Amino acid sequence: MKQKKIVTIGLVLVLSTMLWASSALGATVFWEPLTYHNSSTWQKADGYSNGGMFNCTWRANNATFTNDGKLRLALTSSSYNKFDGAEYRTTFKTGYGKCEVSMKPAKNPGIVSSFFIYTGPSDGTPWDEIDIGFLGKDTTKVQFNYFTNGVGGHEKVIDLGFDASQGYHTYAFDWQPGSITWYVDGVQKHKATTNIPTHPGKIMMNLWNGIGVDSWLGAYNGANPLYAYYDWVKYTSN
């Protein structure tokens, strides 16, 4: 494991150059075992809320690492009817290529565990996003979606044939100029070819509870703490 960490840090030191010079050198692979907080590559959201349907405040202390080397995102309650979630994101943006994660979502009505790439007005860009999301009300399914210049409505729900909250599986999307293809454990599950996003975004993960979206997520019952676990993340450029 120590050797893996050294390899990852080596990638980080040249990542900004490799990502954008990769067309001449071949595909760049960024892979990180999520065994500790590497501040060169990852940031923890802290002290603010996304508002709207997000019924929680992001807390850096809710993104921690387990003894067996997994990133653990927590949903907790600091006081009555006050909730804290967790969000983890890269310090850099990725463009076209394949994003993969090994993860285990949380299971409970009214919550979402996610893996996605995002950029938006806070980055000085249009809102472009590609999503893999698990609705805690039914973790035998996964939801794929994307936004282009703030326009979404591309949801696709897939039956997994297993309960994702019970073990680690690999989820991925391959983003190309004319398509997005989603995979589960290496098997293609969905492909979109219309109005595809164009702006590079940060790789992100979060766990949150919703409000005012019971028809989508189910009603959150206040259960806590709840946890989503992430084993590793990989990005392979074109």
Asked if the model's pLDDT at residue 151 lies above 80, the reply is yes
At 153-198, the pLDDT tens digits run: 999 999 999 999 999 999 999 999 999 999 999 999 999 999 999 9
Q: Are 73 and 63 in contact (CB under 8 A)?
A: yes
Interacting residues of 107 by C-beta distance below 8 A, sequence separation 6+: 136, 139, 163, 165, 226
The DSSP H or E segment spanning 134 is strand 128-135
The full set of domain ranges for the chain reads 2-237
Closest CA to 122 of 193, 56, 43: 43
| Residue 164: strand, helix, or coil | helix
Asked if the model's pLDDT at residue 24 lies above 60, the reply is no
Token look-up 């992001």 returns 58
At 91-118, the pLDDT tens digits run: 999 999 999 999 999 999 999 999 999 9
**Could you tell me the pTM of the whole model?**
0.89
Asked if the model's pLDDT at residue 127 lies above 70, the reply is yes
Tell me what pLDDT residue 25 has: 53
- Is the CATH number 2.60.120.200 carried by domain 2-237? yes
